[in-house]
Structure 1
Amino acid sequence: MAAAVVLLLSGCGGPGTPATPGPPTKPGNDGVVEPSQQASMPSGIVFTDNLSARRTMVTVHDITTGSLLARAAVPKGVLFLDAGAFDATMGRLAYVVDCELRLAVLAGEEYVEAARWEPSQAYGEGPQCFEDPEFSDDGLIRVRVGEGRTPGRIMAVDPAAPATAPKDEGDVSERKEKILRIPGVTDGRVRLQQAGEQIFSVSAEGRIPGSETLDSFSYRCSARLDDTRRLCGSEYEDDRQLYGSVAMLTLDLGVGTATFEQIAPKSKARSPKVLIAPDGKTIAIHDSTGWYTTTLDGGGTPARQPLSDAGNPGKALFWH
């Protein structure tokens, strides 16, 4: 399935000049926007906030000091973001407006639109729209294209070659629910949504020994470590935390079982947000009492961090 490509021009090139993937500088006296070296965001906890400004802002904070490291406004019309919208450096941002896939690059304290792709329209089909763009580990943007919320197809876009049309990678795999057993736990089960090799929305519930309540413990497992491991936060308080407040879940899809390992001890707070550090060994835990860090070996009580006293920067997205 082909798709039309719309390029935003910069510099002195004429019609058909590809957009430069790198971020532009501010126009000089001659009014020319010139490309500069690819910008990036510093490492830290990334937040988004669309309540305190006319435009959605992205900020990066140091968890160990609470200080603001960087901030940037995203293009108008972008209200909701997740980690997959950014590339590995946070120098590029992929998003959808009016059914078009768009690419913005970081320039100072703003993400500036650099390229856009229009979905192809075919005879006999309803209006086609791009949806759910996400940067993959290989640096490409993968995005669904289809009619409304129908499954559609997956297209791959190279942000470094905006003049190249998106590549059709085939139909979107249908999501199916899979249930895994938790050995040794009465009614213990892990529910996950799986589409092809990709796993979504992992959760677990079961009965704590001695409890008369069927689902006396419940965990949401949103932080992905790798293909088989997730970090999970308890939805209930300490008296219903069978595996502590934060636990690591290991999936064995071949056998149909899942096992837990406690990472953080029981807590009076519930539903913590768990973020994985870039080193893959440290995690941040955010709950109603503040921000904490600990390691994946689960060898101690999480340490409270100064970011706890930084007010409310917005919605935490990920640890960059």
Structure 2
Amino acid sequence: MPKGDKFIALTLYLEKCGKDKIKMSFSEIEKILGFKLSDSAYTYPAQWSNSESQSFAFGWLNAGYLTQQVNIPGQAVEFIKEEVAVSAEEYNLSKKAIQCKSETLLVEDAIRFIRTYYNESVEDTHGRYLSWQHCYNAFTMNRSHYDENTLDYLALHLAFYLASWGMYRGSSFLLQKDYKVHIPVVKILMEERYDPLAGITAEELIKESNLALLEEVSDRIRKAYANERLAFDGIPNHATDTLITKILLGSLGCVPAYDRYYVQAVKRYDISTGSYNKKSVTDIAKYYLSHKDEFETVRTELSTCGIEYPVMKLMDMCMWQSAFNSDS
């Protein structure tokens, strides 16, 4: 049997769809193929790699497509036409585009920081830093289908994650509110228009259209809290950049958390200014791209442990651990 014949139904479907990009659930693919995917396809992102070493990949490769944004927890994958994926105009990934401001943070040190953070966070099976994993997984698993009960459930997850990550201190307006204050924000985050930001790749993050989406959702989150009843008389409910980015990291995984340690590290290594804006987000994405092969290797490794780590979570772990070590 020629390679890919077992998956020819998927090949024919993609050839006829006429789309440059198409997102499909695993169940949709199974209906097209007429049989269930392997257990590995539901567990390991590597099973969806664009490698001719496995016959599965010929199902899309023979149709001229590549996979991107494989979402194991959400059981979905996006296919993109090969000519679109490699287009320099589409991705703007010339050497000039991905050149970061500084090479003072060596990739081997960055990898070491990521591993240290991960290993120490999972030492305690109920450690507070695992709250991010629980929160992100909840948002990812419920993104395509939710109701009022789900919104309430996600708001509770978001509240506990933020509390675990230090956002419920005495001076915070959140300390004066119950968890339901997050429901309007959760509704915003779950809108279909923000799907491109969910688990976004570094290549996609540097696109102006996605940076504009990021700026838009950040502004809407800020306004949603400001519109709530004041927690303190005469003092607006001010959502800081730290709060905004922690929410985005915990729900969409699209930016690092701009807390004290992250800002300290990116400024120390001259990767970015540390202010939360389009340019600083682009800077950290370019740093990831400048060492993409190395970072993707460790990301694939970590993503076999029950959740697929988004690229910006790796950057958050890296910078936080670096600054924490220096502070210690």
TM-score by length of 1: 0.22
Q: Which protein has the bigger strand share? A: 1
The one of the two structures with greater contact order (alpha-carbon pairs below 8 A, sep at least 6) is 2
The structure with more radius of gyration: 1
Q: Which protein has the bigger helix share? A: 2
TM-score by length of 2: 0.22
